[in-house]
Every structure is written in structure tokens, then in C-alpha cells.
Amino acid sequence: MYRKARESLTAWRWFFRSLKQGDWLWLFIAIIIASLSVTSISYLGQSMKQSMLDKAAQNLGADLILRSSRPLEPRWQSLAQTLGLQTQNSLNTVTMALNPKFDTNFQLVNLRAVEQAEPLRGQIQPSPELPWQPLGADQVWIEPKLIEQLKLEAGGELLLGASQLKVIGSIQPSSLLNPMSQFAPQITMLLSDFAATQLLGPGSRITYELAVAGDPSALQRFRETLKRDAPNFVEVISAHAPSEDLGKTLDRAWLFLDLAALSAVFVAGLSILIASRFYLQRWHSTLALLRAFGGQDRALRRLFAWQFFWIGLSGSGLGVVLGWLVIQLLNPWLEQQFSPFVSAGFLLPMSLGLLSGLLVLWSFAWQAFQEAMATTPLQVLKNLQNKVPFYHWLISFALMLLMLSLIVQWHYLGWILLLGLLLSLVFYSSAAALLRLLKSVHPSSRGWLKISIAGILKQSPLIKIQLISIGLVLFVLMLMTFVRQDLLQAWQNSLPSQAPNTFILNVQPDQQDSVQNLLQSQKIVTAMVPMARGRLIERNQQPLLAEDFTEARAQRLLQREANIAVLAQLPEHNRILAQLPVEDYQGLGVSVEADIAALFGLQLGDQLLFDFAGQTRQYQVRSLRQVQWQSFELNFFFIVEPDSTQSLPISYISSFYQSSAVQRNALTQQLAQEAPGVLLVDVEQIIQQIRQIMDQASGAVSALFVFTLAASIAVLFSATLASQESRIQTWLLLRTLGASSRQIRWIGLTEFALIGLLAGILAASFAQLVSILIAYQLLDSAPHFSPMLWGSTLAISLLILLSVGWLSQKPFLRMSANQLKRHLKS
Amino acid sequence: MTQIPSSAPIIQLDNIGYQVRNDGQTLSILEHCQLHVEPGQSVAIVGRSGSGKSTLLAIMAGLEKPTQGRAFLLGQEISQLSEDECAKLRAQQVGFVFQNFQLLPSMTALENVLLPLELFQIEQAREKALAALDKVGLHQRAKHLPNQLSGGEQQRVAIARAFVTAPKVLFADEPTGNLDEQTAHQIQALLFELQQTQKTSLILVTHDMHYAHACDQVLQLQQGRLQPLKQTPTLGSGHVS
């Protein structure tokens, strides 16, 4: 034990001495960057996720809501309570509200009856329009727009069913919760008062809800039981994904964050790969000597493993501390961005950072370590090549796998590994091919170009590693730059600044003109889209029954009527993914949203039978469309072709952007008067919330990009330093032969420019290829050839290599032959 | 550390041969080599470049195993030992000095001398290393890096490192090959002085005949065979055939 402790101390001394002389510097920096990136990204990611979830939970008023059109079984509430979760029952129904002062002033409202006035998560947001009081018996809170619509005053009363209730305040209702269903303004009352309204009866459409909140692990257990045992008619709404599309957007942001962390670590890993080889090679002769002196294999392995441990621990430790400092610097910004900001806690990110630093060192330096350990004592007398058995690659790979699993989610791991392996292979063969090309050019080149090419070819194995690492670094950087831009652009496009924030529904054919005129009088230009309420009942003469499907979403869609657009032309904002050839057309056509087609297994050419309020119609699937639901454009699962012979029970729907809240309210009033029954839905608040979440996600994505950049610079420096010795040898020879500083500078810079050019070509071609794939697969944007990507990759590659070359070689270019010789000896 | 009986020779080679296979052909590097080195004796091996001197040195030091015959180092037959057992045998009993010094460039003179002491976790390592540097006249330059030292000084650091563990035998492979004449003489004198004060056996591989003749035995390696050029029985009881 004492001996082991002394061994670790000796290793520490050796490491510290080398570090003092700058030997392990780049390796050390790379570990610091890896650990710093993982610590800060993990903290940032976790905190942002937590803050967004908290925000979503506040909007929901709970962590999770069970919703059903039938009363919820009491066992769910008991289960939640047994698990230590808080619960609250509520119900919703759509009914008419009347101001008893004005007998004619009816308004459709969404009546919400709650067990307790305060939600489980978040707080009631009183709006200033009315003096506010806590909710009590026979009292209601109303949504602000009802004040105008029902001409209410403070202390005024409302008729709801058989009850007359006092208005004691106005509140802003939650909006992320199924926004489109809450088209009617909300009124909140206590559940204990609901029975007296006599609104509960045969035929009344009531939605029952059970809100649940509490400890995440208990929630997870509750969620698992629900998934297993809850009947299909119970819908579970979670703060994790308040809406499916928002969930998708956030998932992409998380994936990008994970990829940013992974890139920073991977790039730092490359730096470790090069630096560890470079530094350990300098130890080869000393290792041979120590073995010749009688150092035993196990003792030497232990000593060097300890050195690596110390390098890893101190590098990661420093990285974690710096990560903590970065977090402290970022915290005020985060608190500004997220309200409220939930800090994820430092322990987990710090442990992850520490572990990643150690793992990235071992996985990338394993080969160099084993190669150094394979040094035989005979090498004190003879030049021999160290051989490393193949299985060490597998160990290295396993360590890498372990490291990856800390950073990315398990379900991406396989893809990332496969892509990584493929990329490495392709990069290796491409680098070899580029070097072969350079070799073929060499005989016909002249002067300093010839000497520069010879300098590169002289150490082709090392240059191959340099090309791969620099190429990969540039590739990752360019890819991240362009994917980031694409990602931000895609988000911006999906929710442009003038996204429709007002919807008009339920416009009957005879009201179409008056509504259109009313809109025109307010200078609103928008199309009225005809639609019918219908239900899909058969596919290719086979009935589609809810019980045949396991997915709750499929069951719900088959049980309910959906809005089906009746249009001859498909909307421009939908992307057509597949189309049936015209020669296969039979009867009338329907265009199906791609996710729904996948859910029901619908194919092009399938015959679908719809039920429109008792009328059945058959349509052939003509195209599959991709739809961005979060864009707030009018979108439909099904768009059917109009039938000139038979008309469907049609109403009209429209959406537009109206910047002023006052005008939106005024329009609501006018619609109520001139076109009774027409509904106006204001989604401005939801759009604001979604936009805020997207802004936060894009801010995070940009911030994390900086880490990858820092890691990349470390790689570039260590890659250049690795081949410095051979370069200086050439310069020494040239100096001795009488070459001027200018000539040597040219030769040196040409060598760097050539490496930059080759690495740039590698990086640009792969970045182009992968950005096309990502655009197509992930971002739903059209793939395109990017001359900008090519030009900038080559220019940046050349510029970086020349600058790094210039900076790292500058001191040597000023040295005399004798000084160069002295430096080489050291 | 393996102890040897005091009466045993430091090195004994019995009919040593060493062949390598190259492109399907067997190449004989050493043939029927015989050697006996007693404690404290100095032996010089001379020969042309490529005559097999380094291979012979490697076999004597237990770094390489002969393909034929028996080689004994410190009383142990090295063919019978594993790599680790060979290493154990060399530990603190064998020292090396090379033509190119083989100092770790990022460590100071003192730190280079400390390496073997720290490897074997010897107590009072720092004091011992400083004393070794003092013996080679470099106490004042202990904190200098190799590139801040002249060639002769670097070789002195290497000698201090070789002698710091008080080895029983020192293998020196062209220790003055990279030095000017005057410095070479100083290094030669230093090596002999330390060898004699520490009663270390010295196996010297050199081209310098003058230097070689200062040893008790001088052997020439020619066409793979060891031939005696000089034997001084008064200085030791080593013999060669």
C-alpha cells in the first residue's frame, strides 16, 4: 500500500516536471476543454430543460394532467396520493354565459370548475381590468375579454345555467394546454358550486381533469402506471411535451446541445490523440532506458498510468472549476432569459465533467499509451517499431462508447457510433488519396513548392493524422455553423414575426360575405377556407376501428370528428412528400398529412371512406404532406377535393395576423353582432410563449458553439506542433545550405497552406454531404448546394493553418542554424 | 534486486551465437563467442560498424537472448529468464551510458539523475542524485535543462545517472563518440575513475583504440567472432578465447 502511494507520488512528480516544461501542455488544455464543455453544457442543458419544464408546468398548472370525457376513476387520484403526489380535480364544459342586466347578451364560454382556486404549479395571474379577490363560494373569475363581451363591471353578476355568480376578478387563463380547444373565453369557479348550475346532465359535454404535481421520480412511476393501465379514453398531458410540435422543436434543440457537447469533446479528443502520441514518443527512449536499468513492466505501466491519472484528474478538475466559473458568469444571463430560472444543481454536471475528462483522455490516448508501454529495453541500442495488439483498438473503442453514453441519449448512440466509424474510415481513405495526389504532383513541381511537398510527404503517416484531425475539426465547425444557421432559420420560418395570431371559425356559408366584408373594413386580407367536420371510417373497404389500434392518438382520431379542408389546390405552406401519378387517379382525391398516414398505415392510392355528419364519401389518397403545426398557419390532417355534384356540410375557417389587441377585441365584438355563432380565437399569448422558448433554445445553441470553437483551436495547435520537429530539421538543413529567412518562411508557409488546402477540401466535401442529409432528414428544409460553405471552409482552413503556422513557427524562423540545432537537441 | 554469489563472474558467455532471418535467409551476426568478466574488470570491445557490437552488448546486458550458447549475467543464465526476471536482475545492478546521452529533454540534470532512483523508490533519492552530480562535477548545474548543457556536460549527467544506483556492471556504448577530443578524454577519465572507486565492471564498446587499450581486456569483433587484442592478467582475472 505504502509502495503504491509512493508510486503515485513519483508519477505526480514526473507529470509535474513535464508540465512545468510545457510537455503535457496541449494534452492538458484538451482535457480542460473537454471537461469544461461537458460541465457547462450539461449544467446549461439541464437547467434550461428544467426551467422550460417548470414554465410549461406553470402554464399547465400541474406537472401532469389526466383528461377524459368520462368521469375519472378515483383509483388514479388514490394512486397519485399514495405516491406522495398532490392532486386536484377539475372539469370543463362549454356553455352560454349571460349578464342578467342585459338579457340579450349571451356569450359562449369555457366554464372551468376547480377543486381549489390555486393551481398545483405556478400562480394565478390576476389581470388589472377588475379588482381581484380570492375565489369563494358562488363567485367566479373571468377572462379579461369577457368584461367587454358581456359588458360586465366589478362586482357584477353572471348567469351560468341555474346559478347566478358574482364576478370578483379577472385572470389570464393557461394557454399552452391544448390552445385550440379553448377558443371560448374562460370562466373559473369552484367545483363545489358546479352541481348547483345544473349544467351536468344527459348530453352535456364535460371534460374531467385530474391535475397531478410533485416529486419527479414519483411522477415517473405514476406516468409508467398510467402508460400501462390507463384506459384509452384517458388523455395524459405532460409538462414534458405540452404540445407535440413544441416537443419536437425542443427535442431538436436538445439534440443540437448534445451534439455541441459531443463535438467539443470529440474535437478535444482529437487533440489528445495527437498530443499524447507526440509527447509519449518523446518518452520512448527514456522508457527503453528505464527498462534497461531494470524497470519492470508492471511497475512502469503503473507509473505511467498514474501519470495519466494525474494529468486527467488535474485537467478535468481544472476544467470543472472553469466550468463552474462559466456557469457563474452565465447565471445572470440565464436568470434574465428564463423566468423563473431553475438551476439544475452543480453536482451532476461536475461529476459528468470530471468523468468525461478522464474518459476522453483514456479513450483517445489509449493507443499511444500502449505503444509507449510496448517499448523494449533493446531500443536503447536499436531502432525498433513498437507494435500494439489489435484488441487495444477495441478497448479504446469501448472507452469511447462509455464516454459517449455520458453525453448523448442512448437512442442516438448507435447512430452516432455508426456515423463516427464511417466518417473515420472515409476520412482516412480520403486523406490517403489526397496525399497520393500530392505525391503525383511532386516530380513536376519546382523550387520551394517542391521542398514544401517533400516536407509533407516525408512524414506522411503523421500528416495523414493531421489532415484527418484538422479536416474533422473544420468539418464539425462548418457543419455546426451551417446546421445552427439552418436550425435557427427553420425555427424562425416556422414562426415568422407575423405568424397568424387570430383564427375565425364556424363561419357558415351565408355568413361568408359579411365576415369577409368585416375583415376587409379592418384592412385584413385573408382567404376563407372551406371545411367540413368528418371522421375517417374505412380504408380500402376495411373498417378502421379504434380498438384495432394501440396508439391512443390513433384511437382518439378515429373516435372524433376532424376538420377536413375542402380545397382544389393544396396550400403552399405544406410540403408534398409523395404524390400519386395522374394516370392512377380514380374518383375524388384526398391529401393526407404524413404523420397521420404513418399512424394509420395509409398508402398512396388507398381508398378512404369518410363520414360527414351521416353522409359517407370515398376519396383516393393522392398525396402525402408534411405540415408544421407550430407555424399557426391553417393546417389539416385531410384535404379533400371539392365535389361538384354533391355538396358537403361546409363551414369556413380563416387565420390572419392582427397586431393590436384592442382591434382583436373590437373584431370579436363586431363578429358577435354581425355574424352570431362565428368564433374568434386569439392565440397571441401562446405564440409569444412559444417564441420565447425558441429564442431561449437558439441562444443556448449559439453559446455552446463557442466551446467547440475553443476545442478546435487547441486541436489545430497540437496538430501543428506534432510535426514541428521534422519541419525544423528541414529548416536547419536549408539554413546550413545557405537559405535565407525569406525562403525558409515561404517554404514553411507553403507547407501549411498545402495542409490547409487539403484539410479544407476534405472538410468542405463532408460538410456539404452531411448538411444535405441533415437538412433533408432533420430540419425539414430543402437540401441545397452551398458555394458559400465551400468557399468559406477553404478560406477558413487556409487562414487558420497559415495563422497557426505563422504563430507557432515564428520564433524558429528567426533562429540561426546553431540555435535551431540546439533546439532540436532539447 | 537479485543478489549474486560474490565468487560468480559478472558476465560469462559460452559459445554464443546469434542469427537472424532476413528475406528467407539466415544471417549470422555472432558465432562461438566466449567471454568471462570478473567483478571490477574493464573490457573494451572494438569492431567496425555493423560487426555486431551492439548485439553482443545487448546479449551481455540481458536485453536480447542468444540463439545459440549460454549467456550469464550476474550469475544467472539469461535464456532461462523471462523479460521481467531479466529486468529484475538488472535492477540497480546494471548501468548504461550511450553515445547520444539519452537524457529526457524536458527534465533538468538533477531530475534525469533522479529517474532510476525514483523508479526503484530508493530512499534519500535527491541527496544521492546531487551527490552523483557532484562526483561528475555538475552540482552547480543541477537545475539546468539538457539543451542548456554542452555535449560533455550532458554525457556527465548520463554517467551520474548510470552510477547513481551503484551498479555492479556498466555498459558504455561509444560514450565519447559525439564529443571532441579534449572532452572525450575528460569523460574517459571520469568513467575509469568511477569504475575503479565503485569497483564496477565496465563493458566499453568503442572505436577509439587508445581508449580501448586503457581497459583490462580488449576484444575485437570480426566476422561475428570475438578475438583478443589485449589481455592484462594483472588487472583482473578475466579471460577470453
DSSP letters spanning A557-624 = HHHS-EEEEE-SS--TTSEEEEE--GGG--SSEEEEEHHHHHHHT--TT-EEEEEETTEEEEEEEEEE
Are B90 and A290 a contacting pair at CB < 8 A?
no
Return the sign of the alpha-carbon dihedral for residues B133, B137, B139, B142: negative
Measure the CA–CA gap between B168 and B199, rounded to whole angstroms. 7
Confidence of residue A144 (pLDDT cuts 50, 70, 90): confident
pLDDT of residue B241: 36
A-B contacts (CB, under 8 Å): 97
Q: Which of A185-189, A621-625, B173-177 has the highest mean pLDDT?
A: A621-625
> Of A218, A224, A223, A226, whose CA–CA distance to A84 is shortest?
A218
B64 touches chain A (CB under 8 A): yes
The mean pLDDT value of chain B amounts to 85
Our CA-based measurement puts residue A752 at a distance from the nearest CA of chain B, in whole angstroms, of 27
Q: Strand, helix or coil at A239?
A: coil
Q: Which of residues 694-713 of A touch B (CB under 8 A)?
A: none
Question: A326: alpha, beta or left, given left = phi > 0 and alpha = psi -120 to 50?
Answer: alpha
Three-point CA angle A50, A55, A57, nearest 5°: 90
Confidence of residue A690 (pLDDT cuts 50, 70, 90): low
Read out DSSP for A151-217?
T--TT-EEEETTEEEEEEEEBPPP-SSSGGG--SPEEEEEGGGHHHHT--STT--EEEEEEEE--HH
Q: What is the mean pLDDT of residues B63-80?
A: 90
Are B84 and A282 a contacting pair at CB < 8 A?
no
Q: What is the mean pLDDT of residues A804-814?
A: 76
* Residue in this structure with the C-alpha cell 448534445, named with its chain if needed: A258
pLDDT of residue A461: 75
Q: At residue A299, what are phi and psi to the nearest 5 degrees?
A: -65, -40
Q: What is the mean pLDDT of residues B114-129?
A: 89
pLDDT of residue A179: 44
Measure the CA–CA gap between A75 and A79, rounded to whole angstroms. 6
Q: What is the mean pLDDT of residues A672-700?
A: 70
pLDDT of residue A391: 84
Residues in B touching A295 (Cβ below 8 Å): 87, 91, 116, 119-120
A446 touches chain B (CB under 8 A): no
DSSP-assigned letter for residue A814: T
Our CA-based measurement puts residue A821 at a distance from the nearest CA of chain B, in whole angstroms, of 10
Q: What is the mean pLDDT of residues A697-717?
A: 68
The grid coordinates listed for A132 are 381581484
pLDDT of residue A705: 67
Confidence of residue B238 (pLDDT cuts 50, 70, 90): very low
A24 touches chain B (CB under 8 A): no
Measure the CA–CA gap between B61 and A289, rounded to whole angstroms. 12
Confidence of residue A782 (pLDDT cuts 50, 70, 90): low
- C-alpha radius of gyration, chain A, whole number: 34
pLDDT of residue A456: 79
β-pair partners for A87: A212
By CB atoms closer than 10 A (0-12, 13-18, 19+), residue A339 is exposed
A283 touches chain B (CB under 8 A): yes
Are B119 and A290 a contacting pair at CB < 8 A?
yes
pLDDT of residue A608: 93
DSSP-assigned letter for residue A86: E
Are B84 and A297 a contacting pair at CB < 8 A?
yes
Confidence of residue A28 (pLDDT cuts 50, 70, 90): confident
Confidence of residue B239 (pLDDT cuts 50, 70, 90): very low
Measure the CA–CA gap between A463 and A723, rounded to whole angstroms. 8
Q: How far is CA B230 from CA B42, B201, B207, in A?
A: 12, 17, 15
Do A242 and A177 touch, CB atoms closer than 8 A? yes
The grid coordinates listed for B149 are 548543457
The grid coordinates listed for A313 are 484528474
The number of beta carbons lying within 10 Å of the beta carbon of residue A458 is 14
Q: What is the mean pLDDT of residues A732-750?
A: 78
Residues in A touching B120 (Cβ below 8 Å): 294-295
B16 touches chain A (CB under 8 A): no
Of residues B34 and A70, which shows the higher confidence score? B34
Q: What residue type is B202 in one-letter code?
A: L
DSSP-assigned letter for residue A340: S
Buried residues in A766-797 as b, exposed as e (16+ CB within 10 A): bbbebbeebbeeebbeeeeebeebbebbbebb
β-pair partners for A15: none
Q: What residue of B is the nearest CA neighbor of A17?
A: B107
pLDDT in tens, A106-119: 777 888 899 888 88
Our CA-based measurement puts residue B116 at a distance from the nearest CA of chain A, in whole angstroms, of 7
Q: Strand, helix or coil at A250?
A: helix
B223 touches chain A (CB under 8 A): no
Q: Which CB contacts under 8 angstroms, 24+ apart, belong to A583-587?
A: A585/A620, A585/A622, A586/A620, A587/A618, A587/A619, A587/A620
In chain B, the percentage of residues whose pLDDT exceeds 70 is 92
Buried residues in A221-244 as b, exposed as e (16+ CB within 10 A): bbbeebeeebebebbbbbbbebbe
Measure the CA–CA gap between A92 and A97, rounded to whole angstroms. 14
Residues in A touching B93 (Cβ below 8 Å): 294
Are B118 and A13 a contacting pair at CB < 8 A?
yes
Do B219 and B45 touch, CB atoms closer than 8 A? yes
Lowest mean pLDDT among A468-477, A780-789, B82-91, B127-136: A780-789
Measure the CA–CA gap between B91 and B194, rounded to whole angstroms. 19
A548 touches chain B (CB under 8 A): no
Q: How far is CA A615 from CA A556, A600, B18, B99, in A?
A: 21, 22, 101, 101
Question: ipTM value of the model?
Answer: 0.84
Query: In this structure, are strands A562-566 and A529-539 parallel, antiparallel, or unpaired?
Result: antiparallel
B241 touches chain A (CB under 8 A): no
Confidence of residue A483 (pLDDT cuts 50, 70, 90): low
Q: With residue A235 as reference, give the H or E element that holds it.
A: strand A235-238
* Residue in this structure with the C-alpha cell 567496425, named with its chain if needed: B48
Q: Strand, helix or coil at B236?
A: coil
To probe the interface with B, which of A311, A380, A822 has the most B CB atoms within 10 Å? A380
A436 touches chain B (CB under 8 A): no
The grid coordinates listed for A107 are 356569450
Are B173 and A294 a contacting pair at CB < 8 A?
no
Instruction: Tell me which residue in B88, B93, B116 faces A296 most closely, judged by beta carbons.
Output: B88
Are A297 and B83 a contacting pair at CB < 8 A?
yes
A10 touches chain B (CB under 8 A): yes
Residues in A touching B54 (Cβ below 8 Å): 381-382
Is the N-terminal amide bond of B105 cis, ω within 30° of 0? no
Do A288 and A357 touch, CB atoms closer than 8 A? no
Q: What residue of A is the nearest CA neighbor of B168?
A: A293
Do A656 and A524 touch, CB atoms closer than 8 A? yes
Measure the CA–CA gap between A591 and A580, rounded to whole angstroms. 10
pLDDT of residue A296: 87
Residues in B touching A10 (Cβ below 8 Å): 118-119, 121
How is domain B39-63+82-231 classified at the CATH fold level?
Answer: Rossmann fold (3.40.50)
Q: At residue A62, what are phi and psi to the nearest 5 degrees?
A: -165, 170
* Residue in this structure with the C-alpha cell 414554465, named with its chain if needed: A55
Our CA-based measurement puts residue B234 at a distance from the nearest CA of chain A, in whole angstroms, of 31
How is the beta sheet containing B76-77 ordered, strand by strand?
Answer: B25-37, B11-22, B68-73, B76-77
**Which stretches within A338-459 are classed as H helix?**
347-373, 391-407, 410-441, 447-458
pLDDT of residue B235: 42
pLDDT of residue A203: 65
Residues in B touching A17 (Cβ below 8 Å): 106-108, 111
Instruction: Tell me which residue in B94, B96, B118 faces A10 most closely, judged by beta carbons.
Output: B118
Residues in B touching A378 (Cβ below 8 Å): 58, 63-64
Q: Is the pLDDT of residue A531 over 80?
A: yes
Query: In this structure, are strands B217-222 and B42-46 parallel, antiparallel, or unpaired?
Result: parallel
Q: What is the mean pLDDT of residues A530-537?
A: 89
Q: What is the mean pLDDT of residues B128-147?
A: 90
Do B206 and B44 touch, CB atoms closer than 8 A? yes
Instruction: Tell me which residue in A13, A23, A825 faces B106 most closely, judged by beta carbons.
Output: A23
Measure the CA–CA gap between B233 and B216, rounded to whole angstroms. 8
In chain A, the percentage of residues whose pLDDT exceeds 70 is 85
Measure the CA–CA gap between A372 and A690, rounded to whole angstroms. 55
B122 touches chain A (CB under 8 A): no
Instruction: Tell me which residue in A3, A381, A822 faces B54 most closely, judged by beta carbons.
Output: A381
pLDDT of residue A623: 93
Q: How far is CA A526 from CA A124, A655, A656, B88, in A?
A: 36, 7, 6, 91
pLDDT of residue B110: 93
Read out DSSP for A484-536?
HHHHHHHHHHHS-TT---EEEEEE-GGGHHHHHHHHHHTT---PPEEEEEEEE
Are A293 and B95 a contacting pair at CB < 8 A?
yes
Are B120 and A822 a contacting pair at CB < 8 A?
no
Q: What residue of A is the nearest CA neighbor of B50?
A: A382
Lowest mean pLDDT among A175-179, A266-270, A369-373: A175-179
The mean pLDDT value of chain A amounts to 80
Are B84 and A7 a contacting pair at CB < 8 A?
no
To probe the interface with A, which of B4, B112, B118, B161 has the most A CB atoms within 10 Å? B118
pLDDT in tens, A568-596: 888 888 888 889 998 988 889 999 999 88
